[in-house]
Chains A and B, each alone.
Chain A
Amino acid sequence: MVKIKCVQCKRKAIFIKPTLCKKHFCLYIEKKVYNTIKKYKLITKKDRLVVGVSGGKDSLTILYLLHKYTKNIVALCINEGIYGYREATIKDMKSFCIKYDIPFIITSYKEEFGMALDEMLQKLNEKPCTVCGSFRRYLLNKKSREFGATKLVTGHNMDDEAQAILMNLFKHQTEILMRLGPLTGILKDTQFIPRIKPLYFITEKETAAYSFLMDFNITYNVCPNAVHAYRGVVGTFLNDVEEKYTGSKKCLINQFIKQLPKIKAKTMKKFMRYCVHCHEPSMQNICKTCKYLAKIRVPQHDV
């Protein structure tokens, strides 16, 4: 019987590339995340962190690892209002936070904008993920600021980032590329909370394996709107490439990181405006969230 052995201790491997046993795989993930934090100076001792969480594998992994790293964290969960989807992951997130004694906040589109996403989508002729993403980014920034956060942490992994790079290149949205990278936020601004992605160099499969090995209780649940997502198409394409040419995602990410300073230098002058309605940071005079809210005729939200 073939038994692949851990390159560190010769016990049976549970993962290949890196070829490690359970113990050394978990140590590898933790070390890689903490090294990313240090190398890119993602967190300082003075930082107060808000962690955007969904209750899925990525958010629980980052929440757990940061909880080991610092006690200055709060979990922030946004209930978009997607029937039959978010309830299960919120339950998982709550149980997790209670187990590890992590303070958490739950807010919703209904509470903040007067309408759940499902209702918004009935009134807007837009792609669900575009609308949802706009409202979510808006709320994550606003709520993080309200809770005095100096950094907003997300559970984006290497796959998420590689997909975002390709999606923006395919759509020729090169200016949006500057928002990517392990640390976003190009100019210091009191209204905008910089975002950090400590799982930046961890693949989706690695995160899934880590959360499985750590026995995090995660309900597999698919957003009913995901079927419309462009991200899914790009993700499948990337996974096909990765299967045939191992290391392609890592190569893409590493090349992108090298180019990122040039992209930021070229485009940063055009940004950092404020929405004339809500005064949140925006790329245009009126932010996307306010444009959507005007279309669905919700009274102006609290600014």
Chain B
Amino acid sequence: MVKVYNEKTGKTLTIPFQGKVKELLKKTGHNPTTVLVVRKRELLTDEDIVAKNDKIEFRSVISGG
């Protein structure tokens, strides 16, 4: 199971997933232009692979004000 922490909402989603970042974004309903995807303090590209048991963080790129 992949854990996805959303910085914007402060919520963590646990989902069965294995595949590319862009597929994870699509599955969770995020536009790739609006989020940074982070794993272990490293930025991932849309083409990187998310493995089972990965902990992922979505960080919104849109300013809050």
Contacts and interface: CB of A to CB of B under 8 A. Distances in A.
Contact of A204 (B42, B47, B48, B63): B63
B45 interface: yes
B43 A58 contact: no
A19 B59 CA distance: 20
Given A204-B63, A208-B59, A2 B48 contact: yes
B36 interface: yes
A243 B31 contact: yes
A240 B33 CA distance: 8
Contacts of A13: 45
A239 B43 contact: no
Contacts of B60: 208, 220
Interface in A242-271: 242-243
Contacts of A209: 36, 43, 61
Interface string A183-223: 00000000000000000000111011100110000001111
A15 B33 contact: no
Interface string A80-119: 0000010001000000000000000000000000000000
A54 interface: yes
A199 B59 CA distance: 20
Interface string A31-50: 00000000000000000000
Contacts of A14: 42-45
A205 B61 contact: yes
Given A2-B20, A239-B34, A242-B33, A223 B47 contact: no
B61 A204 contact: yes
Interface in B33-65: 33-34, 36, 38, 42-49, 59-65
B36 A205 contact: yes
Contact of A223 (B8, B61, B65): B65
A116 to B, nearest CB: 15
30 contacts: A2-B20, A2-B48, A2-B49, A4-B45, A4-B47, A13-B45, A14-B43, A16-B46, A19-B45, A54-B65, A56-B63, A57-B61, A57-B63, A85-B64, A203-B33, A204-B61, A205-B34, A205-B36, A208-B36, A208-B60, A208-B61, A209-B43, A212-B36, A220-B64, A221-B65, A223-B65, A226-B64, A226-B65, A239-B33, A239-B34
Interface of B: 7-8, 20, 31-34, 36, 38, 42-49, 59-65
